[in-house]
Structure 1
Amino acid sequence: MKKIFLIVLLLGTALLQAVAQQDAKAESILNKMAATYRQAGGISLTFGGTQRGKLLLKGNKFYLESGGIQTWFDGKTQWSYVAQNEEVNVSTPTPEEVQSVNPYALLTSYKKSFNYRYVGAKTRQGKRGQEIVLTPKASQDVKSITLNVKENGSPVYIAIQLQNGEKQEFQISSYQTGVNLPDATFRFNKQKYPQAEIIDLR
């Protein structure tokens, strides 16, 4: 009986060590990705997957064009323009809401808000990267986030699984850093959309 208990104890210790190593590996990859992002300046990327689109990033600001919707976020205010309705919704989103639109927002909150584990090396659309799964520590709309990252810290694939079963997938097709992006890039310009009806939800 003691022998069986000892085997179980040893196996349990080995599993705990393996989990700890995986978490350390995941944290190392996330730290590198976050550092690469901070040093990149302006970023321009295009993606396919659930929808095709373009994403411009600088610090905590972003511009997203996808599925007939354009979204600007200047770090505080968000504008979402629906071309079909010629409407602009203006809001002050929560960090969780920003994260569901812009996956890069998690790079400033993963240590505080997420548990994460290293899954292993995986190939996505012919590109090989290290894969990590993040799950929120507190209940929110996001159930999990899967990241596939190259050795240089640039993303290959991002998937967001929501609690309602919906899944958003981003296959990164092009990725440029050091792009000159003025702050005005991340604000809605009324002059360019004179017919748009502005709906202030703040």
Structure 2
Amino acid sequence: MKNKFRIFLTLLAGLSLSVYTPAAAQNDKRAASILDAMSNKYKSMTSFKAVFTYSPEGGRDMKGDATVKGTKFRLKMAGQEIFNDGKTMATYIKETNEVNLQDFDPNEVGDLNPTRIYTAYKKGYKYAFIKENTEGGQVYEVVELSPTSASSQVSKVEIKVHKKDKSIKSWKITQKNGQRVTYRVDQFQPNVQVADSFFAFNSKQYPGVEVVDLR
């Protein structure tokens, strides 16, 4: 289960899997405008909560949710949960009732940090507008990102952005080994009221939990 959750985090941050290479000259203006508007929308929020569906091709769908406030975040999916209060990152595994604690280093975690997911496209990718499509009476713009680094594990990423409000509807990651996974945003709440304590693991709320301190 622990390995599965690490895979989930890696895929969630698929936009960050390549090494920085300037690529601005290779990007079309419409794609850049869409991505910048989307990025600015999320960066302007003080906090947000997203409920999403993770759909690996050929596998079963899984539900998850993420709450972000500034540099703090909390992720939940597949029987595991990650707490980050800006200082300590705690990974709780429900199946074994175990939590691993480690110092939070944003440089080490990099864009696995969901507080950076909406700006990760700005480094290591070229991007192009692909098409518009309509779903449920709503118009979406689809942008395709391609890594500029040959060492990237990702072949391409398709991001579907609501044309009117610039929110993300979904993103599909295709890896070089052919594996595909889609994330679909089912619910989104901007500027949610959430206390800082929500992002810190509290062992009192998990009776009998085994604490593994890796700090």
TM over 0.5: yes
Structure 1 position 171 matched with structure 2 position 184: yes
- SS at 1:80 equivalent: strand
Matched, 1:198 2:211: yes
Q: 1:21 to 1:152 in 2, by over 3 A?
A: farther
Deviation at residue 83 of structure 1 after TM alignment: 0.4
Aligned to 2:166: 153
Instruction: Give the aligned partner of residue 122 of structure 1.
Output: 133
Larger relative contact order (CA 8 Å, sep ≥ 6): 2
**C-alpha distance in 2, partners of 1:187/1:143?**
36
Query: In structure 2, do the counterparts of structure 1 residues 98 and 89 end up closer, same or farther at CA, with 3 Å as the change threshold?
Result: farther
Larger mean CA deviation between 147-156 and 112-121 belongs to 112-121
CA distance in 2, matches of 1:74, 1:166: 33
Aligned AA (2:63): R
Alpha-carbon spacing, 1:173–1:85, altered in 2? closer, same or farther (3 Å):
same
Deviations 1:108-165 (A, max 9, x none): 3322232222111134677531111223333344443321111212111122334554
| Shift in alpha-carbon separation, 1:89–1:158, aligned structure 2, 3 A | farther
Residue 37 of structure 1, CA deviation: 0.5
TM-score (norm 1): 0.73
Offset of residue 167 of structure 1 = 3.4
| Aligned-pair Cα RMSD in Å | 3.1
Alignment of 1:42-81 (within 5 A): 42-50=47-55, 51-75=62-86, 77-81=88-92
Can you give the 5+ residue segments of structure 1 that lack an aligned partner in the other structure?
1-19
Q: So what's the TM-score if we normalise by structure 2?
A: 0.69
What residue number does 2:39 align with?
A: 34
* DSSP-derived class of the 2:92 partner: strand
Alpha-carbon distance, 1:85 to partner? 1.1
Q: Percent identity?
A: 30
* Cα distance in 2, alignment partners of residues 124 and 78 from structure 1: 38
SS in 2 for 1:173: strand
CA contact (8 A) 1:47 1:174 kept: yes
Q: Contact conserved, 2:54 with 2:64, CA < 8 A, in 1?
A: no
Alignment of 1:101-120 (within 5 A): 102=114, 105-120=116-131
- Letter paired with 2:35: L
Distance 1:95 1:132 in 2: 28
Distance 2:126 2:108 in 1: 15
Report deviation, 1:39: 1.5
Cα distance 1:125–1:58, how it changes in 2: closer, same or farther (>3 A)? Answer: farther
| Cα distance change on mapping 1:132 and 1:78 into 2, 3 Å | farther
Q: How far has the Cα of 1:76 moved from its partner?
A: 5.6
Q: Provide the C-alpha distance between the structure 2 equivalents of 1:63 and 1:98, rounded to a whole number of angstroms.
A: 16
Q: CA–CA distance in 1 between the matches of 2:185 and 2:28? A: 25
1:201 to partner: Cα distance:
4.4
SS at match of 2:117: helix
* Residue 49 of structure 1, CA deviation: 3.8
Point out where structure 2 has 5 or more consecutive residues left out of the alignment.
1-24, 56-61
Find 2:156's aligned residue among 144, 149, 154: 144
